[in-house]
Each structure stands twice: as C-alpha cells, then as structure tokens.
Structure 1
Amino acid sequence: MRNRESAALSRKRRRDHALHLEERISTLESQLADAEDECAREGKWLDMLSNWELWSGRKRRHLIMRARKGIPDSVRAMAWARFLRVAELRAAKPTLFADCLAAAPVSKNVRAIELDIGRTFPREPLFYERGGIGQQSLLRVLRAYAACDDEVGYCQGMAFLAGVLLSFCPEEDAFLMLFQLMKSEPYMLRRLFLPGLRAVATQCRIIEGLLRDNAPRFAAHLEAQHVMPEMWATSWLMTAFSTSVPFAVTARVWDCLVAEGYKPVVRVAVAVMLRASPHVAKLELEGILMTMRELHDATFEPSVSDAAHAAAEAAALAEAAASQGGRGEDASGAEGPGASTPPRGSAAAASARPATASVLAPAARRADDWRLDVWDPDGLMRHAFSLRISRKRLSQLAANASVGSAAPDLPG
C-alpha cells in the first residue's frame, strides 16, 4: 500500500516538474520571439534614420505610424534627435549651450531649480545621489534653459522633462532637445509654463470636451461629482507623462510627442481616464479621488531594486521547485518582472533608468491588475489613437474654453 502511494506521489511530482519545464520553455520562447521582433524593428528604424529625408518627407505618415508603435530603446536617442532637428540647431548655434550656461539666470529660478533637483526621479540611480553626476547635469541643463527664456525661466515640471532627456542623452544633447521641445513648432511646450498656466487650464477644458464626446454618461458622472481634469491630469499634461506612470508608457508617449507634437499627450490623458472608467463610474467624489491617487501611486516606481525583484521571483520559483520534491529547475537564471531593460541611446543611460521604469512587484501585480490594464503600453496607445478627434473639434473646444478672454497660445 505504501509503495503504491509512493509511486503515485512520484508520478505526480514528475508531472508537476514536466509542467513547470513546459511553462518555462514557453516563457523563453516568448522572450526569444520578442527579442527577434525587437531586432527586426531596430533594423527598420536604422534604415529610416539612414534615409531620413525620404522618410521625414514623402513617407512621413508611415514614419509617424511606426513611432506610435514605439521606437526601439537602442535607437531612441538618435530618432528623437532627428525628429527634434538637433543637428540643425547645433549647426546654426554651435555655442548655444555654453552661452546659456555662461549667462546668469534670475536668482529666484536658481533657488527653485536647486529645490526641485532632489525631488526629480529620486529613486533613479542617475539622480538619487545628492550632488552626483546626474543631479549636476540636471542642474546645468535647467539653469541654461532658464537663462535663455526670461519669460518662463523655471517652473515645476520642467525638471522631469529634462530628466527624461538626460536618461537617454549626453548633457548638451539633452539641453538642445529641451530647447527644441520648448521653443520650436510643433511643440512649444514653454506655453504650458507661462505665468498663470492658462494653457494647462485650456487643455483641461479640451479633455472635458473630449470625454463628453467619447463617453457622455461617464463625463456627466464626473461633472456631477465635481471631478475636474485639473484634479488628475495636470502633472501628466505638464510633464508629458514623465511622472507616476510606468516608464514604458512614458517612452511611448514621448515617441509620439517628438514625432507629432503635443496633441498625443492630450489623447493619452483622455484614454487613461476612459480605461479607468469601469473603476470610477460608480464612485462618488471621495472614491474617485482615491482611485485616481492609486492610479498615480508610486507603486509604479521601484520601492526595491531590480535585483531584489529578480531575487524575489527566483525565491518563489525555488520554493515551488522545493515543494515538488526538489526536482524543480534552478530558478536563479529566471528573467523576472524586474529584469533590466535593454540599453538605451547612450552608455550612461543604459545603467540608469527613470524611476518609473519598473513594473509592479508580483504581490502588488495581483492586487492591482486593473492599473496594469490601464497602463498597458500597447493597449493604451491603441486606445488613444482610436479616439476620433478632429483638428476642427480641438480648435472648437479651445475657443470655447477661452470665451470672454483672449485665447492662450497652446502647445503644438
């Protein structure tokens, strides 16, 4: 009797172990397919970058469609530089960065920048060291911009824009990209930071109108609860989704921002709320605000290191293997949810990702599946660009938001 039970238990362990191996093989095959797809996408982007005049001219629409699908990490810095016409700016003003650094910004701007440096991506290795290389670069980029734009100077939110750029690019390139984003068409992000922040308020009214167009009952519920976009969208609008979101979303939004201008940021803000609507539609004011706080929650930033995430998953796999009689595969080589992303455009950037880069830890992932659904990069971007939003409608909403006063200039 005991021998039969032992044999049955042994067969069960072998079946469980075989199932575990099949799941692991399936995961590795999926990762291999993803890597092959990434290599193919890199090849396409390298071809486009080497034939930029053709793709940015006659094939521009196709180029934008590819940007909406995401630019591979390995060529993102090069692609952003092309979209932002950095080479042209450097050729026209070769000493721009040095000249702006040499100029003395207004002292109040310097104080504001110094206060914000430590609050910009505080968990990001590039920026968390007080007085470290990352913080010094961020300080110089922001001081240089404040010195060349007296009207805007420095405003909260600009540090995150510069921080994203520094995560991909050397210091001077990051400044030139920020300069182009702030001062050139079709971006003109400086308009968001002008005194009074009227452009931000206008974008919030546009978001209200687009919610009414795409989900009238849901929009009516938000209005009945006095929930305005200023309560949940302002930081995303002013930082182009650089704060409190998974980095995969930040990167995808910025790919579209540099390729098309500011309008994709508004599209994504509307899509985020629509994707969160099943968790918001039946709540009253307090519950809605709590839910939106959860959506902004720093859980999407790593509270522990990537290595700790990987170790946690390895320990879980080892425990599962032990429960199967010690026959489980060694899990130390598993690539968990906290595994490092591929290198980006520069060597410095490859070792330092923005704080929002990591995904939720396994336990949080089970508890907060709805947030992961909202922030799924592919699903979110498809949703954003499936919204039917015409230029005429955007102009009408902007005009309506400005009734009784001069319409503010909006970002591109």
Structure 2
Amino acid sequence: MGFLAGLLLLYMSEEDAFWLLVALLKGAVHAPMEGLYQFDQLVKEHLPKMGEHFTQEMINPSMYASQWFITVFSYSFPFHLALRIWDVFLYEGVRIVFKVGLALLKYCHDDLIKLPFEKLIHALRNFPDDAMNPDTLLPMAYSIKVSRGLEETRQEYEKKNGKINQSTENEKQLQ
C-alpha cells in the first residue's frame, strides 16, 4: 500500500490522498484473488496459445500479476508508464488493469510462448523496455475489449468459491 500512498502524495495533500486511498480500497478485500482468476480466464480467451502454454508450464497469474492488481502497476512499472495507467484507472476503473496486462502479454506473445517455466517466470516479471512504452502499450490496451468477460468471470469465480450474491439471496428469501 505504501506505493499507492506514495504515488497519491506526489499529487495531492495528505488528507486528500488518505480519502482517495480509502475510496479505492473499499470492497477490495477479496478483489486481488478474484481479479487474478478473471485475468487467467481473459488470457485463455484473448490469447489462447499463451493460455495453453501457461497451463502446460503450470503458470498462473498469482505468480506474475499479483503486484499489477494490488498496486495498479505502480510497483513494478516505470514511473512514467504507471502515471499514465493511473490516469486511466482513476477515470475508467479496474478494467484498465486487465487491458494493460493483456496488452503486455500480447506484445511479448511470440517470445513468451517459447520459454520454459523458469525463463517464463523471469520474463513475466521483467518485461523488455520496448514493451514499457506507453505510446505503444496503451493504444494496444484500449483496443482490447474485456467488459462482458469480466462480469461473466466474476460470477463464475463467486460460484466456484461458494460466494452467494447477497442481493440474489435476499430476493430468493422474499419469494
């Protein structure tokens, strides 16, 4: 959380940063695990060869993308790119995290699908500098459509993990 707070403090007062951090974290207790599940499904949908390769190498998003979801790229990405992603994140919400993650994988697709486990993990944590160019990466991210898939995979995740939507439960009790 320090990376998030630090980024916010660069651009606003302590009080404003605190309240923005509170607003960002509301309802985020289980969000990283749900987000990683959704991301895994989106990789399989948008990049099927890579999804298959990750399955064969027993790679899951928690091994490389956890920090993406927890810090919205502010920890492991160059500062200039993280700022551009945060601009979009504050305007559009969490969808940009999925889109940027997919865009990175798409950009490096041909190299990543050739790598064995150890080298693949290293590559997923250390993307090349040319992949970190916001003028290349963000347009690629914007071209990826994920909205419908996110809702479907969220419901699938909740069903798999025995979570029941409270409003659905209340509706059933009223009938």
TM-score between the two structures when normalised by the length of structure 1: 0.38
Moved beyond 3 Å, runs of 4+: none
Residue in structure 1 matching 2:5, options 143, 151, 162: 162
Higher radius of gyration, 1 or 2: 1
- Residue 65 of structure 2 is aligned to residue 233 of structure 1: yes
Aligned to 1:387: 144
Asked if 2 retains the 8 angstrom alpha-carbon contact of 1:232 and 1:292, the reply is yes
Decide whether aligned partners of structure 1 residues 220 and 245 sit closer, same or farther in structure 2, where only a CA change above 3 A counts.
same
Residues 284, 408 of structure 1: alpha-carbon distance in 2 compared, 3 angstrom cutoff: farther
Q: Which runs of 5+ in 1 are unaligned?
A: 1-157, 184-189, 296-370
The 3 A distance-change label for structure 1 pair 282 and 378 is: same
Deviations 1:134-185 (A, max 9, x none): xxxxxxxxxxxxxxxxxxxxxxxx21111100112222222222233233xx
State the match for 1:243 in structure 2: 75
Q: State the alpha-carbon separation in 1 of the partners of residues 148 and 155 from structure 2.
A: 11
Distance in 2 separating the partners of 1:175 and 1:202: 25
Secondary structure in 2 aligned to 1:279? helix
The match for 2:156 is: 400
Q: Within 2, Cα distance between the matches of 1:372 and 1:257?
A: 22
Of 158, 166, 174, the match for 2:17: 174
Give CA deviations for 1:262-302 in whole Å, capped at 9, x if unaligned: 2211211221222222221101111101212333xxxxxxx
Task: Give the 5 Å matches for 1:97-176.
Answer: 158-176=1-19
After superposition, the C-alpha distances for 1:284-342 in whole angstroms (9 at most, x for unaligned) are 111101212333xxxxxxxxxxxxxxxxxxxxxxxxxxxxxxxxxxxxxxxxxxxxxxx
SS at match of 1:242: coil
How has the CA–CA distance of structure 1 residues 238 and 288 changed in structure 2, closer, same or farther, with 3 Å as cutoff? Answer: same
Return the alpha-carbon distance in structure 1 between the equivalents of residues 125 and 111 of structure 2.
13
Higher alpha-carbon deviation: 400-409 or 241-250: 400-409
Q: Deviations over 1:170-220 (max 9, x none)?
A: 22222222233233xxxxxx51xx2xxx32122111111111221111110
Deviation at 1:404, TM superposition (A): 4.5
Summarize the Cα distance change of 1:405–1:259 in structure 2 as closer, same or farther, 3 Å threshold: same
Question: Aligned runs of 1:9-408 on 2, under 5 Å?
Answer: 158-183=1-26, 190-191=27-28, 194=29, 198-295=30-127, 371-389=128-146, 391-402=147-158, 403-406=160-163
| Aligned-partner Cα distance in 2 for 1:268–1:285 | 23
Aligned-partner Cα distance in 2 for 1:237–1:407: 23
Note closer, same or farther for the CA distance 1:168–1:388 as it changes in structure 2 (3 Å cut): same
Q: CA deviation at 1:229?
A: 0.5
Per-residue deviation, 1:245: 0.8
> Where does structure 2 lack aligned partners over 5 or more consecutive residues?
167-175
Looking at structure 2, the residues matched to 214 and 381 of structure 1 have their Cα atoms a distance apart, in angstroms, of 17
Give aligned-pair identity as a percent: 29
Kindly state the Cα deviation for residue 388 of structure 1 after the two structures are TM-superposed. 2.2
CA distance in 1, matches of 2:99, 2:19: 26
**1:166 and 1:274, CA in 2 relative to 1: closer, same or farther beyond 3 A?**
same
How far apart, CA to CA, are the structure 1 residues paired with 2:41 and 2:49?
13
> Distance between the aligned counterparts of 1:247 and 1:268, measured in 2?
15
The separation in 2 between residues aligned to 1:408 and 1:252, in whole angstroms, is 34
Q: Which has the higher helix share?
A: 2
Distance of 2:162 and 2:78 partners within structure 1: 38
Q: Does the C-alpha gap of structure 1 residues 260 and 378 become closer, same or farther in structure 2, counting only changes over 3 Å?
A: same
Equivalent pairs, count: 165
User: How far, CA to CA, are the matches of 2:161 and 2:134 in structure 1?
Assistant: 39
Measured in 2, the distance between the counterparts of 1:174 and 1:282 equals 43
